[in-house]
Structure 1
Amino acid sequence: MSDHIKSIIQRIGETDQLYLQGNLPELALERADLRLQLVMQSQLRQEQIYFLQEAVVLLEQGRIEFEEMPLRLYADLSLHLAKAYMIYFEITREARFATITQQILKPITHHDFGDIYFFLAYASAVKNEPSLTRHWLKKYSATQAFDLGLLREHSAFKEFHTAPWFSQMLQSKLH
């Protein structure tokens, strides 16, 4: 086991102890993020799914348990939840996880966070919804969060690389 994995596991133990003293939305986010890091380190599907399930529960609980929290923190919890479901999709190839991602993020699109648009475009692309993919990518390209390299490299958007609108969007960001 690598030192990096050991440090993640150690921090999970520490944050789980902190949870016993009282939960906070920031703590829920950290606890879930640590589990998502383990998912990315694991090579075993069963282990990945186990940690994903834990992360989803922590994030869902963090989103509903607290009456008030800063908008950015709620958006971060929602984005991590969307990321967890898209990792589920990557592992299982079940489109229902992309649908869940859309259901999580669509209600908060009016807050104009770029990462929300990216994940909605990603979910739309894997569900073979080209019009929605285009819509969300155009919104994403107009934000500070826009990452040209990510868009060029992400496998979900490869089929759009030859589309004129995609090329125009990338060209406009180069200038």
Structure 2
Amino acid sequence: MRENTKQIIQRIGETDQLYLQGNTPKLALERAELRMQLVTLSIVRQEQLHFLQEAVVLLEQGRIEFEEMPLSLYMNLSMHLAKAYMLYFEITKEQRFALITQQILKPLIHDQYGDIYFFLAYASAAKSEMALTRHWLTKYSKTADFDLILVQEHPAFHPFREHDWFVHLVKSKAH
């Protein structure tokens, strides 16, 4: 077992003990992030799905359990939840996880959080929805969070690379 994996597992134990003393949205986020790190480190599909299930439960619980929390923390919990569902999609190739991502993020659309547009574009691309992919990528390109290299290299957008709108979007941001 790698040293990094051991540290993550140790921290999971510590945060689970903190949870027994009382949960907070920040703690829920950290506990979920740790499990998502294990998903990316694992090469065993069943382990990945198990850690993702745990992460989703923690994130959902963190989003609804508390009446008051800063908007930025709620958005962070929501973005991590979207990432978890897109990891589910990557592992299973089931489009329903892209749909769930869209359902989580659409009510939260706000220009301050450009990553929402990226994940909506990603989910739309996963569902082969070209018009929506274009729409969300265009919105994403107008935010401060826009990452040209990420858009160019992300495998979800490869089917669109030859389309005029994609080429134009990339060229307009490259200059």
TM-score tier, shorter chain, comes to over 0.9
Stretches of 4+ aligned residues off by more than 6 angstroms: none
Q: How many residues align?
A: 175
| AA partner of residue 114 (structure 1) | G
Q: Note the aligned Cα RMSD (angstroms).
A: 0.8
Deviations 1:6-55 (A, max 9, x none): 00001101111111111110110000000000000000000000000000
CA deviation after TM superposition for structure 1 residue 111, in Å: 5.4
Is the CA contact 2:89–2:97 (under 8 Å) kept in the aligned structure 1? yes
Gapped regions of structure 2 (runs ≥ 5): none
Residue matched to 1:132: 132
For 1:12-91, what aligned pairs fall within 5 Å after superposition? 12-91=12-91
**Separation in structure 2 between the aligned mates of residue 88 and residue 174 of structure 1, nearest angstrom:** 32
Could you tell me which residue of structure 2 aligns to residue 108 of structure 1? 108
Paired AA for residue 128 in structure 1 = S
Query: 1:72 & 1:138 partners in 2: Cα distance?
Result: 23
Quote the residue 1:7 is aligned against.
7
1: CA distance, partners of 2:111 / 2:164:
29
**Structure 2 counterpart of 1:72, one-letter code:** S
* Conserved 8 A contact 2:32-2:56: yes
Q: Distance in 1 between the 2:17 and 2:82 partners?
A: 26
* Identity over aligned pairs, percent: 70
Q: TM-score, normalised by structure 2?
A: 0.98
Q: Assess if the C-alpha contact under 8 Å between 2:111 and 2:143 holds in 1.
A: no
2: distance between equivalents of 1:111 and 1:33? 24
How big is the shift at 1:168? 1.1
- Measure, in 1, the Cα distance between the counterparts of 2:63 and 2:26: 10
Contact (CA 8 Å) 2:5, 2:38: kept in 1 or not?
A: yes
Partners of 1:3 and 1:99 in 2: CA distance: 36
> What one-letter code is carried by the residue in structure 2 that aligns with 1:58?
L
| Consecutive unaligned residues in structure 1, runs of 5 or more | none
Give me the whole-angstrom Cα distance separating, in 2, the residues matched to 1:93 and 1:70. 34
Report the Cα offset of residue 107 of structure 1.
0.4
Letter in 1 for 2:4: H
Deviations 1:99-124 (A, max 9, x none): 00000000000354111000000000
